Amino acid sequence: VLSKPLMGVIGVVSALMAIISSTGLLLLFGVTFVDMCTVMPFLSLTIGIDDSFLMLAAWHETPRHLAVEKRIGTSMRHAAVSISITTLTDALAFLIGAIAPLPAVKYFCYYSCAAIIFIFLYCLTMFIACLALQGRLEERSKNSLLMGKTKDLARLEKLSLTDLAFHMGSVVEEPAGEALNADEDIRSSKSSDSRMWYQKFFEDYYAPFIANRWTALLALILFGTYVTAATIGSQKVIVGFD
């Protein structure tokens, strides 16, 4: 019910479809495909799998008794932001690399940038749609792989070997739609007794430290210094092998 092995397959398939779509689009526009571009699918595949993992991790953080629509919305609110930022920075990095005078590097950056953008689009469309379908199965306590009705683990001693092999699952105790706010449910479900040590550290110590106004001011000054140094240094960079 909760493992969703099909979503792992769908994550890989969606990344492969994005790679094929980006390659086909650039070939349609006449962009040269060089030998270095054969490395692009492996690089892009890791990015697509990472995006799928972030979305699934955000889904598992949502309470099971919420409606599928609310769980999808909460998952996207938490994971889609980081996915969007990483997609933007990766695509921008490859676009900057495309200014290299070497044709092989330039074409590799073109194909990699297009693949990253298509992976982002497929993740927010195809992968999310399949996740919603799997969420419907979870809502009905059905097996995520065989799609059959499961039996509660609380009656483990009463289940036959067939039920344990093909119908083992869990039942949601609270009906969907009772919670008013997904974020409040997530916070209330994470009591101090059930949190891991790293959760306590980030929630109780690191987050208040980062949110402090003096820390924010120091971070802004350091960031401005970094941008200034990077801008000055980038003007002295010579692109090429010379």
C-alpha closest to that of 15 among 114, 116, 128, 129: 116
**Whole-number Å distance between alpha carbons of 114 and 40:** 10
pTM given for the model: 0.69
Per-residue confidence (pLDDT) for residue 168, from 0 to 100:
56
pLDDT at 234: 82
Average pLDDT, the chain: 81
The residue that leads in pLDDT, 143 or 237, is: 237
What are 62's two structure tokens? 């949502």
Question: Considering the chain, what percentage of its residues have pLDDT values greater than 70?
Answer: 75
The answer to whether 31 and 107 are in contact (CB under 8 A) is yes
Q: Is the predicted pLDDT of residue 176 greater than 50, yes or no?
A: no
pLDDT tens for residues 122-173? 999 999 999 888 888 777 776 666 666 665 555 555 655 555 555 555 555 5
Cα(56)–Cα(11) distance, rounded to whole angstroms? 10
What are 201-230's pLDDT values in tens digits?
888 888 899 889 999 999 999 999 999 999
**Quick one: DSSP state of residue 38?**
G
The confidence score (pLDDT) of residue 117 equals: 95
C-beta separation of 109 from 94 below 8 A: yes
179: left (phi over 0), alpha (psi -120 to 50) or beta: beta
- pLDDT band for position 60 (cuts 50, 70, 90): confident
Output the CA–CA distances (angstroms, integers) from residue 126 to 58, 67, 129, 196, in the order listed: 17, 20, 5, 33
